[in-house]
Amino acid sequence: HYVDKNWDLRSGLCNFSELPGSHSGENVAVDVMSALHQIRISKKALCFTGDNTSNN
């Protein structure tokens, strides 16, 4: 979710990808940062929410 320049609440999907190999916290972080860089919001993203598994 994000707020646009008119302060309207918006929702969007930034990435949905397969994560091959280990789903370690480090690998998940690399994948998330790659997605944020691709859509040019890596310096604007405030938080990331994942499920409640031990690798988060």
Tell me the residue range of the domain where 27 lies: 2-38
- Is the per-residue pLDDT at 9 higher than 90? yes
Q: Could you tell me if residue 53 is inside a domain?
A: no
Q: How far apart, in whole angstroms, are the C-alpha atoms of residue 35 and residue 55?
A: 19
Q: Could you tell me if residue 46 is inside a domain?
A: no
Q: Could you tell me if residue 54 is inside a domain?
A: no
- Is the per-residue pLDDT at 10 higher than 90? yes
Q: Could you tell me if residue 15 is inside a domain?
A: yes
Per-residue confidence at 52, pLDDT binned at 50, 70, 90? low
Q: Could you tell me if residue 14 is inside a domain?
A: yes
For the stretch 26-51, pLDDT in tens is: 998 899 999 999 989 888 888 877 77
Q: Could you tell me if residue 8 is inside a domain?
A: yes
Q: What is the pTM of this model?
A: 0.68
Q: Could you tell me if residue 55 is inside a domain?
A: no
For the chain, give the percent of residues with pLDDT over 90.
29
